[in-house]
Amino acid sequence: MFIAANWKMNLDKKSISEYAKFLQKFKFSDKVETCIFPPTIYIDYLHSLINDLPISIGGQNCHYKTSGAFTGEISPNFLRDTGCKYVIIGHSERRIINNENNAEIKLRAEAALNSSLKVILCVGETLIDRQEGKALQFIEKQINDCLPDNYENLLIAYEPIWSIGTGKIPSVFEIEEMHTHIKKIINKFVNKKINVIYGGSVNIKNINEILDITNVDGVLVGGASLKAKDFLAIYSAAVKYLNIS
Ligand code: 13P
């Protein structure tokens, strides 16, 4: 079970320091893996505050080259060097705002894997695709186009675009159908279990229902991860879920 916090472009040094104090008081379980994706500039700072805790740190994106004339970009090697274990690749905000296409996302994922990072590859359909009944087809194409050649350290995050930051989530049936679909597509390439996590308006109220869905191996939390108390409540729900099931 994997519970991750994507802070996006939020939280400054002072709020990260307060957040870390909460984390320091919390008792983590070895059954639930957790990772925080802070703004890149604060990776080192967060690391210095929580490096004694069983929490991984990850980058929110990385470039497909390890060095060179790419002003403003982040090398996967730099992430590795600052102690990151994971990186998110292909988040819909990068795809939409920064025009990252499937071919580029595949390159970024491969570069990250080559730099010994674990990759969370994000996929997700628009509302129109969902309403027109094309969601499964859309995700299949995204995966076929973005899937890196190495599957060893890969996780998929299913994040329907229309669910991110909106408070709307797909039905239990839709999430289960999509996660099962994603696993089947990947099994065409490799006979290995790949974890698929769900992201999009996950919060303390819906976490139990989401975790209970077949083929959901964890969650990627945005807005509700910005308050330590809320994120830890989501984490605790996962621990409780595993202890009961
Ligand atoms: P929200 O949880 O704010 O909907 O964001 C989800 C997300 O984009 C995580 O990567």
Mean of per-residue pLDDT scores for the chain: 97
pLDDT value at residue 192: 86
Residue 199 forms beta bridges with which residues? 220
Ligand 1 atom closest to the Cα of residue 37 is 10
Torsion sign over Cα 20, 229, 24, 238: negative
Q: Is 223 in the pocket of ligand 1 (CB under 6 A)?
A: yes
pLDDT value at residue 230: 98
Q: Could you write out the three-class secondary structure of the chain?
A: CEEEEECCCCCCHHHHHHHHHHHHHCCCCCCCEEEEECCHHHHHHHHHHHCCCCCEEEECCCCCCCCCCCCCCCCHHHHHHCCCCEEEECCHHHHHHCCCCHHHHHHHHHHHHHCCCEEEEEECCCHHHHHCCCHHHHHHHHHHHHCCCCCCCEEEEECCHHHCCCCCCCCHHHHHHHHHHHHHHHHHHCCCCCCEEEECCCCCCCHHHHHCCCCCCEEEECHHHCCHHHHHHHHHHHHHHHHHC
Q: Is 36 in the pocket of ligand 1 (CB under 6 A)?
A: no
> Confidence class of residue 12 from pLDDT cuts 50, 70 and 90?
very high
pLDDT value at residue 19: 98
pLDDT value at residue 244: 82
pLDDT value at residue 190: 86
CA dihedral 65, 67, 71, 76 (to 10 degrees): 60
Residue 123 forms beta bridges with which residues? 158
Cβ atoms of 47 and 34 within 8 Å: the answer is no
Number of structural domains found in the chain: 1
52 C-alpha vs ligand 1 centroid, how far in Å?
27
93 C-alpha vs ligand 1 centroid, how far in Å?
10
- Across the range 174-190, mean pLDDT stands at 95
> Angle between the 102-114 and 135-146 helix axes, to the nearest 10 degrees?
50
CATH number for 22:
3.20.20.70
pLDDT value at residue 180: 98
> Confidence class of residue 33 from pLDDT cuts 50, 70 and 90?
very high
**What pLDDT digit, counting tens, does each position of 127-154 carry?**
999 999 999 999 999 999 999 988 889 9
- Across the range 172-196, mean pLDDT stands at 95
37 C-alpha vs ligand 1 centroid, how far in Å?
12
Q: Is 160 in the pocket of ligand 1 (CB under 6 A)?
A: no
pLDDT value at residue 24: 98
- Across the range 65-75, mean pLDDT stands at 98
Is residue 231 over pLDDT 90? yes
pLDDT value at residue 150: 86
Q: Is 221 in the pocket of ligand 1 (CB under 6 A)?
A: yes
**What pLDDT digit, counting tens, does each position of 189-222 carry?**
888 899 999 999 999 999 999 999 999 999 999 9
Residues of the chain with pLDDT > 90, as a percent, come to 95
Host domain of residue 212: 2-244
Q: Is 201 in the pocket of ligand 1 (CB under 6 A)?
A: yes
- Across the range 61-75, mean pLDDT stands at 98
Furthest-apart CA atoms within the chain: distance in Å: 52
Indicate which residues carry an active-site annotation.
91, 159
